[in-house]
Structure 1
Amino acid sequence: MSLKVLMTAKTIAAPGLALLERGGCAVSFLKDGTDSELAQSLRSTPFDAVISRTLALSGNLIEAAPALRVISRHGVGYNNVDIDSATKHGIPVLIADGANGQSVAELAVGLALSVSRRITTQDASIRAQQWNRSAPGLQFAGKTAGIVAFGAIGRRVAEILQTIGMQIIAFDPHAGDRSTPGILWAETLDELLERSDLVSLHCPLTSETRNMIAAPQLARMKEGAILINTARGGLVDEGALAEAVRSGHLAGAGLDTFANEPLAADHPFMSVPQIVMTPHMGGSTDAALDGVAISAARNVLDVLIEGKVDRRLLVNPAVLKHRTVQTK
Structure 2
Amino acid sequence: MTPTIFVTAPRLAPSGVELLDQAQARVIYLQNGNDVQEVERIMASEPIDAVISRTVDLSATAIASCPTLKVISKHGVGVSNIDVDAATHRGIPVYVTPGANAQSVAEMTLGLMFAAARRIAWMDAELHAGRWSRVQDGIELHGKTLGLVGFGQIGQRVAAVCLALGMEVVAFDPGLKTSPNPAVRLVASVDEILPLADVLSLHVPLNKHTRGMLGAEQLARLPRGAIVVNTARGEVIDEEALIAALRSGQLYAAGLDTMSVEPLPAGHALAALPNVVLAPHVGGSTPAALAGMARGAARNVLGWLQGQPADPAACVNPQVLA
- TM above 0.5, one fold? yes
Residue 12 of structure 2 corresponds to: 12
Q: Give, in whole Å, the separation in 2 of the partners of 1:134 and 1:110.
A: 19
Q: TM-score, normalised by structure 2?
A: 0.97
Aligned to 1:200, what secondary structure does the other structure show? strand
Corresponding residue of 1:52 = 53
2:241 corresponding residue in structure 1: 240
Counterpart contact for 2:150–2:171, Cα < 8 Å? yes
Measure, in 2, the Cα distance between the counterparts of 1:173 and 1:90: 27
Report matched runs for 1:156-175 at 5 Å.
156-175=157-176
Aligned to 1:74: 75
Q: In structure 2, the residue corresponding to 1:6 is in which secondary structure?
A: strand
The residue that corresponds to 1:216 in the other structure is 217
Partners of 2:171 and 2:94 in 1: CA distance: 29
RMSD: 1.2
Distance 2:87 2:11 in 1: 24
Q: Which residue of structure 1 lines up, in the alignment, with residue 150 of structure 2?
A: 149
The residue aligned with 1:326 is none
SS in 1 for 2:81: coil
Number of residue pairs aligned between Structure 1 and Structure 2: 321
| 1:97-136 matched pairs, under 5 angstroms | 97-136=98-137
Q: Deviations over 1:270-324 (max 9, x none)?
A: 2212111111101111111111111001101111111524211000012124xxx
Report the identity percentage. 46
| Aligned counterpart, 2:182 | 181
Which residues of structure 2 form unaligned runs of 5+?
Answer: none
Letter in 1 for 2:225: G
Q: Is the 8 A contact 2:299 2:310 kept in 1?
A: no
Instruction: Report the equivalent of 1:265.
Output: 266
**1:17–1:179 CA distance, 2 compared to 1 (3 A):** closer
| 1:25 maps to amino acid | A
Task: Pick which of 32-41 and 281-290 moved more.
Answer: 32-41
Counterpart position of 2:201: 200
Q: Could you say which residue in structure 2 is the equivalent of 1:190?
A: 191
Q: Give unpaired runs (5+ residues) of structure 1.
A: 322-328
SS of the residue corresponding to residue 138 of structure 1 reads: coil
Report the alpha carbon displacement of residue 179 of structure 1 after superposing the two structures with TM.
4.8
Structure 2 letter corresponding to 1:162: L
Deviates more, 1:65-74 or 1:124-133: 124-133
Aligned equivalents of 2:208, 2:195: Cα separation in 1: 24
Contact kept in structure 2, 1:239 and 1:268, CA below 8 Å: no
Q: Which moved more, 1:306-315 or 1:104-113?
A: 306-315
User: What does residue range 79-90 of structure 1 map to in structure 2 within 5 Å?
Assistant: 79-90=80-91
For 2:274 and 2:69, how far apart are their aligned partners in 1?
45
User: Cα 1:70–1:218, aligned 2, differ >3 Å: closer, same or farther?
Assistant: same
Q: Give, in whole Å, the separation in 1 of the partners of 2:101 and 2:302.
A: 20
